[in-house]
Amino acid sequence: MNNIKIVKADKSHIPQMAELITQNLGTCNLIKGANNDVMARNIAELTDTVDYYRVAIDDNGTVVGLCGIGEVKSDNDYELDIGKHRDVLYVVVSRDYQRQGIGTMLLKSCLKDIHDYPVIYEAWGEIKNGDVNSYKMLAKCSFDLLADMGTSFYRDHGYCPYCVNKGKNCHACFCKIYIYK
């Protein structure tokens, strides 16, 4: 593997982080009612939350991956009895760098500072891929499946109109909730 370092994210990383999210994630994960300018929305969101993130950078300082864990919260979008917890924010690795252990390294690095409450991960994936994209990474990081929200969770919660693959079947995405204790 190229010489990859994990560092705390700062403001200078935001444009590259937003680009990675925009290019690599279905926008099903977007907040209901968000506008359709995905890149602008990602920049705005990261500007508020950058302190929670770590990034993987290569020798040139290029951001090739990112992961964040948010602050403690009590409510959740899944009607699950979780109590206080933290959410994993985005985990994304650039396509050219996937399957080299970077996602696992990023998530483990973010988890090692969390000692108070369980960490919840909303895992997303397209049905055609057989499972959520991150299932192996989550197993490597000791997450357990907490709830399978089914394949219409995103549609039922109003996300799909904002999906980059707008025309596709709304039962095309998994949503599974994982927990790390």
Ligand X SMILES: CC(C)(COP(=O)(O)OP(=O)(O)OC[C@H]1O[C@@H](n2cnc3c(N)ncnc32)[C@H](O)[C@@H]1OP(=O)(O)O)[C@@H](O)C(=O)NCCC(=O)NCCS
Q: Could you tell me what percentage of the chain is helix, strand and coil, using 3-state DSSP and rounding each to the nearest 5?
A: 35, 25, 40
Question: Considering beta carbons, is residue 131 or 156 the nearer one to ligand X?
Answer: 131
* Rounded distance between C-alpha atoms, residue 159 and residue 117, angstroms: 28
What CA–CA distances, in Å, run from 141 to 59, 66, 115, 124, 149? 26, 16, 15, 17, 21
Per DSSP, 31 falls in state P
**Does residue 55 interact with ligand X by CB under 6 A?**
no
**Does residue 66 interact with ligand X by CB under 6 A?**
no
Question: Considering beta carbons, is residue 59 or 116 the nearer one to ligand X?
Answer: 59
Residue type, 158: G
* Rounded distance between C-alpha atoms, residue 11 and residue 27, angstroms: 23
Site for ligand X in 77-116 (CB under 6 A): 91-93, 98-104
**Does residue 134 interact with ligand X by CB under 6 A?**
yes
Q: Which of 30, 42, 50, 124 binds ligand X (CB under 6 A)?
A: 124
Q: Least distance (Å) from ligand X to the CB of residue 145?
A: 13
Site residues for ligand X per CB under 6 A: 24-25, 91-93, 98-104, 123-124, 129, 132-134, 136-137, 140
